[in-house]
């Protein structure tokens, strides 16, 4: 067995986006994901970024089966798969998932609808995560109107900015449509005990 590194395997999918009740039923959205991780981490299998198909808003029938605080209506479903494996010698820079959601304006131009990020769970097993989205806005109402008219909404040059703290304090953001993204992940770990790291159950965190 190779014990010079420990391994973190992640599978799952970006399942869906859930709007506030006032969202338009004609919304069409797609998402992009990417992983941000420290210099000691290396991808040994899979891909660290992906772009989903375009999906239209629909209604998920049935009750809320995994988190009763999140409504199942007004859902835009992607079920976009994630599969990636990392190796590292240090937990510093533990991977984070950056999510960008895009839609279309009244002229069919691509515009950012929201960013979000989440830390990959530390414990093995299946995890269901809800990530609230937000987006940057211009500093004045006049500039916001010009952005809307020209289809040039402010967006981050690097979508992984949402996974880092640097420069975030000078960015003005808004979360005005209540969109949340549902992500389902299964985490598997190998050789962690060889480096002195123990597993704590999710109920003890």
- Tokens, residue 89: 């010698």
Kindly state the percentage of the chain with pLDDT values over 90. Answer: 46
Distance between CA 37 and CA 86 in Å, rounded? 10
User: Is the Cα torsion angle 47, 15, 126, 91 positive or negative in sign?
Assistant: positive
Question: What pLDDT was estimated at residue 36?
Answer: 95
For residue 139, pLDDT beyond 80: no
Instruction: Compute the average pLDDT of residues 140-156.
Output: 69
CA atoms within 13 A on the CB side of 106: 4
Closest-CA residue to 77 (of 28, 24, 127, 140) = 28
E strands present in the chain: 6-18, 28-36, 42-46, 49-51, 55-56, 75-88, 96-104, 110-119, 125-132, 135-136, 173-174, 180-190
- Predicted TM-score (pTM) of the model is 0.81
> Which pLDDT belongs to residue 74?
73
Comparing 52 with 172, the larger pLDDT belongs to 52
Residue 192 DSSP SS3: coil
């Amino acid at each position: 067995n190779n014990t010079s590194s420990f391994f973190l395997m992640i599978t799952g999918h970006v399942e869906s986006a859930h709007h506030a009740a006032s969202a338009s039923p004609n919304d069409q959205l797609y998402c992009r994901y990417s992983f941000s991780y420290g210099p000691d981490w290396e991808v040994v299998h899979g891909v660290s970024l992906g772009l989903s198909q375009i999906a239209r808003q629909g209604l998920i029938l049935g009750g809320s089966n995994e988190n009763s605080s999140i409504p199942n209506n007004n859902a835009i479903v992607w079920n976009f798969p994630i599969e990636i494996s990392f190796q590292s010698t240090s937990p510093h820079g533990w991977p984070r998932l950056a999510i960008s959601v895009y839609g279309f304006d009244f002229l069919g131009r691509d515009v950012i609808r929201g960013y979000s990020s989440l830390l990959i769970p530390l414990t093995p097993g299946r995890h269901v995560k809800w990530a609230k989205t937000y987006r940057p806005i211009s500093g004045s109402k006049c500039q916001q109107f010009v952005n809307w008219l020209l289809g040039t909404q402010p967006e981050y040059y690097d979508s992984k900015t949402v996974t880092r703290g640097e420069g975030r304090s000078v960015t003005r953001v808004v979360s005005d449509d209540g969109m949340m993204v549902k992500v389902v992940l299964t985490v598997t770990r190998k050789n962690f005990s060889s480096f002195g790291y123990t597993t704590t159950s999710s109920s003890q965190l």
